[in-house]
A and B are shown apart, each in its own frame.
Chain A
């Protein structure tokens, strides 16, 4: 069983199109994230949802709209795709330990988006 699963794994599309990437976690975590990794390999956080509430929004263009229908799902919809949106997008989830307070993220395998 994959803990954090993303679909699709690969996505090739034309500029101007609208596309979505889906993420699901079966770990029972209460927080989910989207990270973007560009060609320079930096991992940048984009969004985070805790119990379906948006808690992090990192100055991402409003063409990007996350949606969390429930705690186990966080989807990323991108409107009017641009060349610069080409990247690998990683979904992650976490649950803060009630005992230690530590917060360990579990990442998906990534979705490689190529905009032509």
Chain B
């Protein structure tokens, strides 16, 4: 079972910031939060990950709350090409000992003109 919960869908106006929330209240102290997205008919694409500190890269920013129980992915200037399903993921189990990234339902983001 996925360890994260996300809204099913969100809309965003083109050019505006898209803020996608995620709850991961059972995350353990050393687990990263990963964000991926899947544009229709393509393979999932890595966006960003974080542990405790906020992170930024060329695609997005990740804001993690101090208690690490939730995070927000920010696309600063959404474009129509950002329309996709966004997945917030936390590892279940130990890497190389059966640990795995389980994808939940994700948030379907629609960027509108």
Contact = CB atoms under 8 A, between A and B. Distances in A.
Contact of B91 (A41, A103, A107, A109): A103
Nearest to A96: B95
Contact of B43 (A56, A90, A101, A104): A90
A108 B42 CA distance: 8
* Interface range for A: 20 to 34
- Secondary structure at the A interface, as helix, strand, loop or mixed, is strand
A106 interface: yes
B21 interface: no
A4 B96 CA distance: 20
Nearest to A110: B43
B101 A41 contact: no
Contacts, number: 57
Contacts of B36: 105
Contact of A109 (B43, B46, B87, B102): B43
Interface string A20-59: 0000000000010001000001111100101000011000
Given A45-B101, A102-B49, A103-B91, A108 B43 contact: yes
A41 B85 contact: yes
Interface residues of B, number: 25
Interface string B41-81: 11111100101000000000000000000000000000000
Interface of B: 30, 32, 34, 36, 38, 41-46, 49, 51, 85, 87, 91, 95-98, 100-103, 105
17 contacts: A35-B103, A41-B85, A42-B105, A43-B87, A50-B96, A55-B96, A56-B100, A90-B44, A92-B43, A92-B44, A102-B34, A103-B91, A103-B101, A104-B46, A105-B44, A107-B44, A107-B45
Interchain residue pairs A-B with the least CB separation, the first 9: A107-B43, A43-B103, A107-B44, A50-B96, A109-B43, A102-B32, A45-B100, A104-B46, A110-B43
